[in-house]
């Protein structure tokens, strides 16, 4: 089956600093693929390149077999890749439901003259976008909080709102940058279930995370980055036992989940 | 009651409202334009030249608006790639260039200005235009464009990642604002009956700022409130007439210090 | 005569550079585009004029008067119109709005006190001519270039060698870190405004001496041109302001000599827009003393 995303020999430097070197990876459609590695390994940089926020210096990116490196971020979103941000970047001037509706921005107004119709209150796009947004909010479990302003939400709810916003674009591939950051065990359990729900709905997930237990629980495949290079790529079980991975993490994390079971 | 002098005041208030709205739209996308006076000048001169050549007022107004929109598009193009503060500088430079142009362009009078403009502006026309403007800002906030403008203002990287075409949104904001300024210029020319480049200088653009800031940059009714208040103030206070600019300047500073969000409550106008 | 035009351009450019340096200093340290800086330049010119008219003193006294008058007004502006905003820090639009307001106030006050027409700036420097190599220069031109040169060198020394200069550079990097290091940021801002305004005041008197006439409206055009200069030179770069100023001065003089003179003013704006389109960062990287 064609991988939904192929990363081919991607490199990127910032001035004298080589952030990513010859990174290769393939993501299977419908799977949950994790990207892990010590701090500074280049994970967010890679995510930024995939989503179009950054351009690679060299290499190819293929989405559903089609090369797309160099396209703008909004074009890439229209293609089917959506994302959240490591530090939440919600639109504080918009309501919760409007934040989610922004995600659907590129898919609204399909019919000609829709803008004009909507302006005069005669079209359906706004109403149906609203309904869809409500469904998405329910999907991520934020229905109870609708009346609040985005800045009034807890951090964990804000992150869920960002996920809802990304999902509103009906992506085929969802990039999540440290969705579990700062979550307590209850929130983590809910996140785990949300990831399962997203996967069941047919969306492929690429997760950047530090939280090993979560990664081991939800991932189908893991790619490990260290100092800009891929040092391991495989199913969770083999990653756990990989000596290079263990060495890279030695002293970085005391996550017992990483170590082989005794 | 709305005869003669007060009709004239009301007309100028209405024109100033339109100028306020013309700044409000790009400002809500984070595009700080200090050149609205330039777009107004283009609309004023073009419509005046057309009506003096016999073109009907409505068509001349429309032409002025379209010319303003075209200029807004052209100014918006370089503005796409540069940070907020440079947009400000760019628009300021644009306004200055327009002023120098009309000061030197002999076919429209050059430094002596353009006179003999037919007195075609009437209160009901300006009122109708303002009604349209009110409806426009109200409706824009409720459709996709309004949300996009706010998103682009708050975080344009995130907005682009969510599928908003920054180029289209910013150009649209610039062009719409410039179009409204052009129409305002057309009304102005046919009320003032004589125009010259100095009437569209930086203080014109600065005043548009005052209207918006006084009312509140986050409130779609803000520019209307601010423009009416500033237009009426000299009528109410005699000494303000002679020291208009000083008073307005001090007002701007005071607002900047104590109420940068404007006098009207920040009606977010988002729906639940 | 090419060399003559060049000399004229250098002289004009020096005045642009002086105003632009102040502009870029304020931007570098306070991250503020001081739109009323041109009006401070105008205030300096009128202050110098008062010294000449009231006390019948010479150009050097006028310089000191202009420098001092502008510096006082500039520091007052910082204290009254910007410090309160800096302290509240809740709107990124507020500082710009405040500069616009100050500009309006200064221009109208000058118009009310000195009349809207041009006022003569008496000086006999113009009548003295000197011959240097193959150039003929007036006393005024020599005075201008000398004064501008001395001022720029003094500024450069101030920024790179003195404690205040270093404090300014630290603050321009990061206000938070600077105050954490014990730098009195309030005083640095005040000094920055004072120095920048003093330079503008000097330029105001120099322009008055050269053209023998000043008007309350001279501030706006100078302000926009100085803004063009710092865009060309790079926002925050002092060398950029110097070089950019000279470039603009020379370009304007040549445009008058070889193109239409009425387009002279548009040259600055056109050049600025060109730079904004092609290389918004300007010629030099931002950085004080660099």
DSSP-assigned states of every residue in B4-64:
HHHHHHHHHHHHHHHHHHHHHHHHHTT---S-HHHHHHHHHHHHHHHHHTT--HHHHHHHH
Q: Above 50 in pLDDT, residue B57?
A: yes
Higher pLDDT, B113 or A261: B113
Place of tokens 């996920």: A163
Looking at residue A250, its pLDDT comes to: 60
* Measured CA angle at A68 (ends A62, A70), to 5 deg: 135
Q: Above 80 in pLDDT, residue A254?
A: no
> CA A90: distance to chain centroid?
15
Q: Above 90 in pLDDT, residue C263?
A: no
Instruction: Assess if residue B251 is contained within a domain.
Output: no
Query: How many angstroms separate the CA of residue C109 from the nearest CA in chain B?
Result: 7
Instruction: Assess if residue B63 is contained within a domain.
Output: yes
Query: How many angstroms separate the CA of residue A242 from the nearest CA in chain B?
Result: 35
Q: Above 60 in pLDDT, residue A253?
A: no
* Cβ distance of C105 and B206 shorter than 8 Å: no
Mean pLDDT for the stretch of residues B141-159? 91
Q: Cβ atoms within 10 A of the Cβ of B217, count?
A: 23
ipTM: 0.85
Residues written for chain A: 262
Looking at residue A255, its pLDDT comes to: 54
- Which residues on adjacent β-strands are paired with residue A83? A175
Q: Which residue of B has its CA nearest to A78?
A: B163
Rg (chain B; Cα; Å): 18
Looking at residue A160, its pLDDT comes to: 92
Instruction: Assess if residue B115 is contained within a domain.
Output: yes
What would the pLDDT profile of C71-102 be if each residue is shown by its tens digit?
999 999 999 999 999 888 777 888 989 999 99
Nearest to C104 among B101, B217, B245 (CB): B245
Question: Residue A247 class from Cβ within 10 Å (0-12 exposed, 13-18 middle, 19+ buried)?
Answer: exposed
Beta strands A32-36 and A204-208, pairing class:
parallel
Instruction: Assess if residue B66 is contained within a domain.
Output: yes
Mean pLDDT for the stretch of residues C221-235? 89
Q: Above 70 in pLDDT, residue B271?
A: no
Instruction: Assess if residue B98 is contained within a domain.
Output: yes
Looking at residue B269, its pLDDT comes to: 47
Looking at residue B82, its pLDDT comes to: 82
Asked if C261 reaches chain B (Cβ–Cβ under 8 Å), the answer is no
* Measured CA angle at A200 (ends A198, A201), to 5 deg: 65
Domain around B13: 4-200
**Alpha carbon distance C101, B206 (integer Å):** 8
Residues 6+ apart with CB under 8 A from C87: none
**CATH code for the structural domain at A1-80+171-262:** 3.40.50.300
Looking at residue A116, its pLDDT comes to: 77
Mean pLDDT for the stretch of residues C245-274? 82
Asked if C278 reaches chain B (Cβ–Cβ under 8 Å), the answer is no
Looking at residue C286, its pLDDT comes to: 63
Q: Above 80 in pLDDT, residue A216?
A: yes
Nearest to B144 among A89, A105, A120 (CB): A105
Percent of chain A surpassing pLDDT 70: 94
Looking at residue C181, its pLDDT comes to: 85
Nearest to A74 among B140, B155, B164 (CB): B164
Residues written for chain B: 272
Asked if B218 reaches chain A (Cβ–Cβ under 8 Å), the answer is yes
Domain locations in chain A as residue ranges = 1-80+171-262, 94-169
pLDDT grade for A256, boundaries at 50, 70 and 90? low
Using an 8 Å Cβ cutoff, are C103 and C33 in contact? Answer: no
Query: How many angstroms separate the CA of residue A59 from the nearest CA in chain B?
Result: 21
Q: Which residue of C has its CA nearest to B258?
A: C85
**Total domains present in chain B:** 1
Mean pLDDT for the stretch of residues B133-149? 90
Instruction: Assess if residue B185 is contained within a domain.
Output: yes
Using an 8 Å Cβ cutoff, are C24 and C235 in contact? Answer: yes
* Cβ distance of B143 and A118 shorter than 8 Å: yes
Beta strands A221-226 and A32-36, pairing class:
parallel
Phi, psi of A255 (to 5 degrees): -70, 110
* Cβ distance of A74 and B218 shorter than 8 Å: no
What would the pLDDT profile of A26-41 be if each residue is shown by its tens digit?
999 999 999 999 888 8
Asked if C33 reaches chain B (Cβ–Cβ under 8 Å), the answer is yes
Task: List, edge to edge, every strand of the sheet that includes A204-208.
Answer: A81-83, A173-177, A204-208, A32-36, A221-226, A229-234
**Alpha carbon distance C93, C101 (integer Å):** 13
Does C contact A via 3+ CB–CB distances below 8 Å?
A: no
* Cβ distance of A89 and B155 shorter than 8 Å: yes
Helices (H), C115-138: none
* Cβ distance of B144 and A118 shorter than 8 Å: yes
A137 token code pair: 């909010």
């Amino acid at each position: 089956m064609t991988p939904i995303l192929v990363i081919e020999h991607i490199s990127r430097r910032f001035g004298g600093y080589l952030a990513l070197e010859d990174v290769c990876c393939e993501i299977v459609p419908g799977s949950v693929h994790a990207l892990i590695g010590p701090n500074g390994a280049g994970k967010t940089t890679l995510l930024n390149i995939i989503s179009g926020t950054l351009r690679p210096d060299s290499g190819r990116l293929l989405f559903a077999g089609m090369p797309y490196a160099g396209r703008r971020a909004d074009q890439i979103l229209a293609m089917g890749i959506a994302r959240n941000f490591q530090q939440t970047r919600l639109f504080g001037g918009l309501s919760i439901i409007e934040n989610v509706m922004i995600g659907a921005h590129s898919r609204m107004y399909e019919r000609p003259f829709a803008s004009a119709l909507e302006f005069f209150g005669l079209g359906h796009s706004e109403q149906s976008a609203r309904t869809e947004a409500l469904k998405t909010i329910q999907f991520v479990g934020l229905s109870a909080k609708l009346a609040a302003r985005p800045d009034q939400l807890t951090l964990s709810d804000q992150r869920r709102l960002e996920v809802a916003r990304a999902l509103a674009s009906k992506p085929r591939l969802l990039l999540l940058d440290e969705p579990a950051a700062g979550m307590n065990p209850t929130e983590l359990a809910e996140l785990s279930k949300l990831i399962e729900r997203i996967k069941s709905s047919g969306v492929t997930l690429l997760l950047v995370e530090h939280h090993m237990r979560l990664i081991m629980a939800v991932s189908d495949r893991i790619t490990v980055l260290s100092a800009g290079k891929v040092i391991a790529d495989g199913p969770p079980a083999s990653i756990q036992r990989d000596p290079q991975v263990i060495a890279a993490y030695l002293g970085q994390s005391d996550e017992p989940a990483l170590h082989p079971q005794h | 009651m709305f005869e003669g002098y007060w009709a004239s005041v009301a007309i100028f208030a209405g024109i100033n409202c339109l100028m306020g709205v013309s700044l409000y739209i790009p400002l809500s996308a984070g595009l700080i334009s200090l050149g609205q006076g330039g777009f107004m000048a283009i609309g004023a001169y073009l419509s005046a030249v057309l009506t003096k050549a016999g073109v009907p007022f409505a068509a001349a107004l429309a032409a002025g608006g379209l010319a303003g929109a075209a200029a807004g598009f052209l100014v918006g193009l370089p503005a796409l790639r540069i940070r907020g503060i440079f947009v400000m500088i760019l628009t300021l430079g644009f306004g200055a260039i327009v002023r120098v142009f009309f000061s030197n362009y002999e076919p429209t009078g050059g430094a002596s200005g353009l006179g003999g403009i037919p007195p075609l502006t009437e209160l009901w026309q300006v009122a109708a235009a303002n009604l349209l403007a009110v409806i426009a800002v109200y409706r824009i906030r409720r459709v996709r464009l309004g949300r996009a403008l706010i998103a682009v203002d708050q975080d344009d990287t995130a907005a682009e990642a969510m599928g908003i075409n920054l180029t289209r949104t910013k150009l649209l904001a610039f062009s719409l604002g410039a179009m409204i300024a052009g129409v305002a210029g057309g009304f102005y020319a046919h009320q003032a009956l004589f125009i010259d480049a100095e009437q569209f200088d930086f203080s014109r653009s600065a005043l548009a700022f005052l209207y918006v800031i006084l009312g509140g940059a986050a409130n779609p009714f803000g520019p209307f409130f601010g423009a009416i208040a500033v237009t009426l103030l000299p009528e109410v206070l005699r000494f303000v007439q002679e020291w208009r600019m000083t008073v307005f300047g001090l007002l701007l500073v005071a607002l900047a210090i104590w109420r940068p969000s404007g006098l009207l409550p920040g009606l977010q106008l988002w729906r639940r | 005569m090419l060399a003559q035009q060049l000399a004229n351009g250098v002289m004009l450019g020096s005045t642009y550079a002086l105003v632009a340096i102040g502009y870029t200093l304020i931007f570098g340290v306070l991250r503020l585009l001081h739109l009323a800086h041109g009006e401070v330049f105008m205030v300096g010119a009128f202050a110098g004029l008062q010294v000449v008219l009231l006390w019948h003193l010479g150009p050097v006294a006028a310089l000191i008067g202009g420098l001092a008058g502008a510096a006082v007004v500039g520091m007052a502006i910082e204290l009254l119109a910007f410090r309160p905003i800096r302290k509240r820090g809740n709107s990124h639009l507020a500082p710009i709005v405040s500069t616009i307001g100050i500009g309006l106030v200064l221009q109208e006050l000058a118009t009310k006190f000195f009349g809207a027409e041009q006022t003569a700036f008496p000086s006999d420097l113009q009548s003295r001519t000197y011959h240097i190599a193959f150039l003929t220069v007036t006393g005024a031109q020599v005075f201008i270039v000398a004064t501008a040169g001395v001022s720029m060198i003094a500024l450069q020394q101030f920024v790179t060698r003195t404690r205040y200069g270093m404090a300014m550079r630290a603050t321009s990097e990061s206000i938070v870190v600077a105050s954490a290091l014990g730098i009195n940021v309030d005083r640095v801002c005040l000094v920055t405004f004072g120095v920048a305004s003093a330079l503008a005041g000097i330029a105001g008197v120099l322009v008055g001496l050269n053209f023998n006439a000043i008007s309350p409206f001279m501030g706006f055009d100078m302000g926009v041109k100085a803004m063009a200069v710092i865009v060309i030179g790079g926002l925050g770069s002092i060398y950029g302001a110097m070089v950019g100023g000279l470039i603009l001065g020379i370009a304007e003089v040549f445009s008058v000599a070889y193109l239409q003179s009425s387009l002279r003013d548009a040259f600055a704006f056109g050049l600025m827009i060109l730079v904004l389109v092609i290389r918004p960062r300007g010629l030099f990287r931002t950085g004080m003393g660099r």
